[in-house]
Amino acid sequence: MAITTTLAGRATSAELPRLIFGDRWDYDPAPESADPRIAPSYDLFIGGRFVPSAEGESFDSINPADEGVLTRIARANAADVDAAYAAADKAYARVWRKTSPRDRGKHLFRVSRLLQERAREFAVAESMDGGKPIRESRDFDLPMAAAHFFHYAGWADKFAYAVPGARVEPLGVVGQVIPWNFPLLMLAWKLAPALATGNCVVLKPAETTSVTAMKFAEILNEAEIPPGVVNIVTGGGETGRLVVNHPKAAKIAFTGSTEVGREIMRSSAGSGKKLTLELGGKAANIVFADAAMDQAVEGIINGIFFNQGHVCCAGSRLLVQETVAEEIIERLKHRLAVLRVGNPLDKNTDIGAINSRAQLDRIEELVADGEREGAAKYQPACALPERGWYYPPTLFTGVTQSHRIAREEIFGPVLSVLTFRTPEEALAKANNTCYGLSAGVWTEKGSLILKMARGLRAGVVWANTFNQFDPASPFGGYKESGFGREGGLQGIFEYVKTV
Ligand code: NAD
């Protein structure tokens, strides 16, 4: 204790363990060892069966942690997507539409329960396929995915009463396309409300992260969801295009980049298809001088480094009140220095692998631009694994609003720090973006929280916290972050029509 007190006077928290225990201080590796039960290859899931693609095409799914091949995934072409829509159409007309709401709910409860039973296996598969730390897939992705099915199972026999005086009907067959950052969770956000309301689905996972979707197909069969109610077609952007442009789709639900969202909006214009778009973001995380500093620093770290920063609502623009900027930046630097980057399957890992080589290239390009435009880069000394795609936690100070790193979504572990003097200036800077998905406010003053929440053009505003999610709470964007809401009762309305 005496040693700690003496050393604490002159050492940073990052240096302290090394001063006490010497250079041998480190965590022992703590790898998660559950068997992810990943098959050597995955076919398409159409009409309740696994079927090869019509032309027998497939591609490698790579483990970003070591660049090894995890499995092979079928590539769906036009004939496969047609077959998936035909199966969904048939299941809708003959079975699912006629299944009582209570029975639909029972099926969804079963799905939720089965996911919980196989949570550990799914968490390992998710981390190996996508690169996220096992702690996150185990403690966030899997429980949240199961919670979504649980939540919407409860709605199945109740939502009809949510619109008094009107009859509420499903839309029919819906096409859903999801991204790679939360593969299973995005699947749950899409499937749970669509199925609870009586729709049938053709879903396309992202090409780099299809494994848990294909494993989920096994759960659909175990839960005895009738064949054809959910069909999963794998492939890249071309397969996605076939799914969203298919004439049998009554609705398209897309989560992904703003660029592709724009293309889908153009191609679906005039088609009569209902559309929801969950797109990119560049959230402001605003810290006032009176905020509880320790909590704010943890909130900033969680806001940007959760899931390697591959988060649409990541707090990637930190706005700090000028009087405390120096202190916050100093504390952040210390915190960055103790973040552990490495093997996603190690339970000590804070920042796992970057999902793909292409995403790593994009992060490197934007960081290089940040330096070129004059912002100051800080990266702690941090040994990265030799194989695999990794990027160290990065902090930019001296950022101005015109810098590319303050305007464009980096989708990586890179934080830009800007300063402000008054709440009005913070609001103006926070809203000076084409995005509007989320924001954070840190202050002890309740009235200031309310003023900021009213003024921020963002779908979600967190106060004295960040990245909080709940199936009952709607999530969605303003401006180029998209439209439509997922979660809660609002999420139900995206999948029904009133007659
Ligand atoms: P992306 O747009 O490249 O791909 C998303 C999905 O669309 C993938 O399945 C892809 O194969 C498919 N796709 C690609 N081109 C297509 C096309 N022309 N037509 C139809 N489908 C096509 O995005 P990404 O890189 O996979 O994901 C990252 C993006 O997703 C980020 O911008 C992130 O902010 C956003 N995102 C948003 C939310 C949200 O809720 N708003 C959640 C997660 C991710």
pLDDT tens per residue across span 85-103? 999 999 999 999 999 999 9
pLDDT-derived band of residue 13, with 50, 70 and 90 as boundaries?
A: low
CA–centroid distance, 257 to ligand 1, in Å, is 4
126 in active site: no
How many whole angstroms separate alpha carbon 423 and alpha carbon 232?
Answer: 47
Q: Computed from CA positions of residues 157, 161, 165, 171, in that sequence, does the dihedral angle turn out positive or negative?
A: negative
User: Is the CB of residue 203 below 6 angstroms from any atom belonging to ligand 1?
Assistant: no
User: Active site residue: 278, 409, 480, 486, which one?
Assistant: 278
Query: Does the Cβ of 234 fall within 6 Å of ligand 1?
Result: no
Of all atoms in ligand 1, which is nearest to the CA of residue 179? 26
Position 16 pLDDT exceeds 50: yes
For 6, 209, 348, 385, the CA distances from 18, given in Å and listed in that order, are: 14, 38, 17, 21
For 347, the token pair is 């339970």
Does the pTM of the predicted model rise above 0.85? yes
Check whether 243 has a pLDDT greater than 70.
yes
231 bridge partner residues: 202
Task: Check residue 118 and give its pLDDT.
Answer: 98
Separation between Cα atoms, residue 145 and residue 243, nearest integer Å: 23
Residue 417 clears pLDDT 50, i.e. is over it = yes
What pLDDT, on a 0 to 100 scale, did the predictor assign at position 8?
Answer: 46
Position 25 pLDDT exceeds 80: no
The verdict on whether 312 is a catalytic residue reads yes
pLDDT band per the 50, 70, 90 thresholds, residue 382: confident
- CA–CA–CA angle 408, 413, 415 (5° rounding): 60
pLDDT value at residue 5: 44
pLDDT value of position 11: 59
For residue 341, report the distance from its CA to the centre of ligand 1, in Å.
Answer: 25
Question: Which residues partner with 36 through β-bridges?
Answer: none
Confidence band (pLDDT; 50, 70, 90) for 241?
very high
> What gap in Å lies between CA 499 and CA 479, rounded to an integer?
30
Query: Hey, what are 265's tokens?
Result: 């909006």
Q: Are strands 200-204 and 173-177 parallel, antiparallel or unpaired?
A: parallel
Instruction: Provide the pLDDT for residue 1.
Output: 39
Please name the residue whose Cα sits nearest to atom 40 of ligand 1: 278
Whether 316 is in the pocket of ligand 1, judged by its Cβ within 6 Å, is no
| Mean pLDDT, residues 415-434 taken together | 98
Q: Is the minimum distance from the CB of 213 to ligand 1 under 6 angstroms?
A: no
CA 258–ligand 1 middle distance (angstroms): 8
- pLDDT-derived band at 195, boundaries 50, 70, 90: very high
Backbone torsions φ then ψ of 363, nearest 5 degrees: -60, -45
Q: What are phi and psi of 433, to 5 degrees?
A: -155, 155
Nearest atom in ligand 1 to the alpha carbon of residue 259 is: 2
What are the structural domains of the chain? Answer: 41-279+481-498 (3.40.605.10), 284-471 (3.40.309.10)
From the candidates 312, 409, 486, 494, which is the catalytic residue?
Answer: 312
Average pLDDT of every residue of the chain: 95
